[in-house]
Amino acid sequence: MGRIRQATEEDAKGIAEIYNEYVLNSVVTFEEQIVEPSIMASRIKAIQALGLPWLVAVDECLNIIGYAYASQWKTRSAYAQSVEITVYLTEECQSKGWGSNLYQRLFTLLKAKGVHVVIAGIALPNPASIALHEKFNMKKVGHFEQVGRKFNRWIDVAYWQGILT
């Protein structure tokens, strides 16, 4: 069985490999160019410098199979207890409980830090992501029509919110 741990900058290559599959083959992310491991390492470092968690799930061979993290929602101080969350998994590990395990651990760490609200943006349609977020009692709070364009089509984005404390 695998485990979940804090990410390190050395995990950037494995994380980038997972993320770049989404960049190249889905509308889940609106990035359109692959992210180099060095850029991913910078992102990990920046999130952790804010005192926020970035977690990785590893299999029994210690290969990275997924990750989740919280990022700053807005920069103004009144938003300090609100974060945006995200989770990504390898295709082979989807629908096997890893997303739930990552979020469970992430939410535990966020509650301990005094985070009050988690927010997730979901490019639509994405029934699996919606189900995951609603499993954690997150509710749809907004829907923006045609705000992204990727693969020559317009994409809606909706936001889910959960109150932790």
Tell which wins on pLDDT, 78 or 97: 78
Cα separation, 143 vs 49, whole angstroms:
31
**53-93 pLDDT, tens digit each:** 999 999 877 889 999 999 999 999 999 999 999 999 998 87
**118-127 pLDDT, tens digit each:** 999 999 999 9
Look at residue 136 and give its three-state secondary structure: coil
Q: Per-domain residue ranges for the chain? A: 3-163
- Structure tokens of 16? 């980038």
pLDDT at position 38 is: 98
Q: Which residues contact 89 (CB under 8 A, 6 or more apart)?
A: 18, 57, 65, 66, 98, 99
Cα separation, 162 vs 139, whole angstroms:
6
pLDDT at position 2 is: 80
Q: Which residues contact 54 (CB under 8 A, 6 or more apart)?
A: 6, 7, 44, 47, 48, 67, 68, 69, 70
pLDDT at position 97 is: 81
Residues across the chain: 165
Judged by phi (left if over 0) then psi (alpha if -120 to 50, else beta), residue 104 lies in: alpha
Cα separation, 94 vs 80, whole angstroms:
31
CB atoms under 10 Å from CB of 86, counted, come to 17
- Structure tokens of 41? 């390492």
Backbone angles phi, psi at 70, to 5 degrees: -115, 140
Nearest Cα residue to 10 out of 64, 59, 46, 61 = 64
Assign domain 3-163 to its CATH superfamily: Gcn5-related N-acetyltransferase (GNAT) (3.40.630.30)
pLDDT at residue 159 tops 90: yes
pLDDT at position 96 is: 78
Look at residue 100 and give its three-state secondary structure: helix
pLDDT at position 1 is: 65
